[in-house]
Structure 1
Amino acid sequence: MNLDIYNQDIRLIDPICSPVFKVNGKRGVLLIHGFTGSPHDMAYVAERLFSEGFTVSVPRLPGHGTNHKDFLNSTWRDWVRRSIDAYLDLTNFCDEINVVGLSMGALLATVVTSSFKAKKLVLAAPAFKVTDWRLKFTPLMSLFVQYREKEPPVFDDPSLNKLAQEYWNKVFIKPAAQLYKLQKIAIKSLEKVESSTLVIVTQKDNTVPLSVLDVIREHLKSEFKTVVLEKSAHPVTNDVEKELVAEKIVEFLSN
């Protein structure tokens, strides 16, 4: 096997990006992170659920949490396959399984739930609709450019700075085209979802508009509950209201 593609920039996955699997009873929860994210974004909610008696699984999606070259070589099929595998792994430990997804993870959670009939579904800042109108043009744009550089955010945490240098200092065109394909598939999958559903959105989301609720109402046949946050930015499971988000998810999945 030729491992030359794994150059010196690829090291062991940082601990904050490592997948989580913690067994604590027969009620399971699969938590799926978003586009350019990592299990770190779901860690707080997962730990809270674990403390409440749930077995939790937070997979690391292919291409995420390593480097941008991995990301450029991953596709929506890879992300769906990993999500399905993680769901099936949980069936070996749990009698019931719930699925929680953030942003693109909510799209994956919808696809999984529509196929396997999870007991409950939580869609956090679900990317069925995004504010960036250029997304629909990415399949064409990706034929000419894979990404463009931008100024990365700066963090006190070295692990987050490493992720920023690999993922958050670029506008990814090629992976965004994969996200666009997944978005269309997930919207169709909504029509097959029969599980009780909780949708969490935030007024300060610059990525997913509140009008995403209209998309869900149009395509989801069953009723759903909604939580509208006031202070959080897009990554609601890992932002200033993460305690409230965790509380709402625990309450929804426990009842």
Structure 2
Amino acid sequence: MTNIVKDLQERNHLVRWGILIGLTFFSLATLFILAIDFKILRDPDIIQDHHFRILLFILVIYFTIYATSGFIRSLARYLNNRYLARFTALPKLSCYQESCTRNYFPNKPYDHIVILLHGFTASPQEFQFLIKHLEANQIPYLSPNIIGFGISSTHLLSLAHRHDWYRTAIEQYDLASSLANKVSIVGHSMGGILATFVAMHRPLHHLILSGPGLYSAPGDLKYKRLLALPIISQLYIKIVPYLPKPIRKGRRTTSDTLDQTHTSTMFQYLAIPIHCVKEVFSAQNDVDIQQAQFNQLSIIYGQHDLTVDMNKLFKQLDNQDIPYQKANFENSAHNVLEDYDKDPCCQYIIHTLMETTPSKKAPATSKAATDG
């Protein structure tokens, strides 16, 4: 009780301490300017422009506001962190056990639910063709917007942390598992990273990864190395906060697909906050597919993918003796779910999801070279 009273008392002093610091800073800076005015500005041989004094006062006002707000932010962070320290922290989700989303359903109305996790800069629209197949086969699904994506601006995305994405994915799993006996995830690109993260912490029935972004394409590794440098990366992000989404070699648009007929209607951001690019690279380092829990792992990819390094993923799976099945679609690139092979790809996913007992070898599909 004593600690709570102390916290509340310090909370009441939050703004007044900030204002006091600001006034103190302003007073000291004003005295400094008056000293300069007395010793320098009055000497015509040094400075004769009276605008210099005005400029100094403007700078003082600016830095006073900056110092006041910065102090209040720091004090607020200190107060919150000290109070929240009494709760059970979940660092990987940036939240606390006591504050997690809760769901309760007395009965599980479904046997199987599928979660669809979309890729970087995209939205649930990415699954528009797969959704039609799921609904036609009456397979229940959840397709959330990952935090920062699919909204009218990139402001939230420029602030989002990868732990926010993890939390969204975990909460979707917990909701699905309270409604169904079995939960599967289809994750595309960055969604494949999130799906793998979920599988590291929750058991999955089917883990289906479409062009998973577990390993960046070789051409992107220089950016990953740059953004891994603590001080340099922060400076770079401050100077260049946004970059245009790249157009891959041989592509006419920012979409890494061979079929360009509907790329103009794909929801995506053409300018990307570099902060969130750094978060994606960090997420790659966080996940380890060897720790994933699943009954069956399926990898789907396009033969002409230029966005991720599929060979490195297959090499890791083989070296670690992780059982999986894969489907290589020969007439598609990165997003096979929206490319020329979208129909056979969707059929492959439906066939996999509807398997009662996961098999070791995948069935062959049209327009795809499938091997296990």
TM range (shorter): 0.7 to 0.9
Alignment TM-score, normalising by the size of structure 2: 0.56
1:128 matches 2:214: yes
1:55 matches 2:155: no
CA RMSD of aligned residues (A): 2.6
* 1:54 CA drift (Å): 1.3
Q: Which amino acid aligns with 2:345?
A: V
* 1:123 CA drift (Å): 0.7
Q: Could you say which residue in structure 2 is the equivalent of 1:87?
A: 173
Give, in whole Å, the separation in 2 of the partners of 1:247 and 1:89.
26
Q: Where do residues 22-41 of structure 1 align in structure 2 (5 Å cutoff)?
A: 25-41=110-126
Q: Which amino acid aligns with 1:148?
A: L
How many residues are paired up? 227
Alignment TM-score, normalising by the size of structure 1: 0.80
Aligned match for 1:245, one of 336, 341, 345: 345
Give, in whole Å, the separation in 1 of the partners of 2:144 and 2:246.
28
Q: Could you say which residue in structure 1 is the equivalent of 2:57?
A: none
| Cα pair distance change 1:56/1:205, threshold 3 Å | same
3-state SS of 1:71 partner:
coil
* 1:202 CA drift (Å): 1.4
Give, in whole Å, the separation in 1 of the partners of 2:193 and 2:263.
30
Q: Could you say which residue in structure 2 is the equivalent of 1:192?
A: 292
Give, in whole Å, the separation in 1 of the partners of 2:214 and 2:133.
27
Contact 2:119 2:190 in 1 (8 A): yes
Give, in whole Å, the separation in 2 of the partners of 1:40 and 1:217.
33
Q: Where do residues 1-255 of structure 1 align in structure 2 (5 Å cutoff)?
A: 25-66=110-151, 67-131=153-217, 132-133=220-221, 134-140=223-229, 142-143=233-234, 144-145=236-237, 146-149=241-244, 153=253, 160=265, 163-164=267-268, 167-168=269-270, 170-186=271-287, 188-211=288-311, 212-219=313-320, 221-255=321-355
Q: Which amino acid aligns with 1:137?
A: L
Q: Which amino acid aligns with 1:88?
A: D
Contact 1:129 1:215 in 2 (8 A): no
Ranked by relative contact order (alpha carbons within 8 Å, sequence separation 6 or more), the top structure is 1
Contact 1:101 1:124 in 2 (8 A): yes
| Cα pair distance change 1:59/1:190, threshold 3 Å | farther
Flag as ranges the 4+ runs of structure 1 deviating above 4 A: 150-159
Contact 2:215 2:309 in 1 (8 A): yes
| Cα pair distance change 1:135/1:193, threshold 3 Å | same
In structure 2, stretches of 5+ residues that fail to align are 1-108, 248-252, 255-259, 356-372
Q: Which amino acid aligns with 1:79?
A: W
Q: Which amino acid aligns with 1:135?
A: K
In structure 1, stretches of 5+ residues that fail to align are 1-23
Contact 1:45 1:246 in 2 (8 A): yes
Q: Which amino acid aligns with 1:195?
A: N
Q: Could you say which residue in structure 2 is the equivalent of 1:15?
A: none
| Cα pair distance change 1:253/1:40, threshold 3 Å | same
Give, in whole Å, the separation in 1 of the partners of 2:245 and 2:129.
29
| Cα pair distance change 1:203/1:156, threshold 3 Å | closer
Give, in whole Å, the separation in 2 of the partners of 1:142 and 1:94.
43
3-state SS of 2:279 partner:
helix
Contact 1:121 1:196 in 2 (8 A): yes
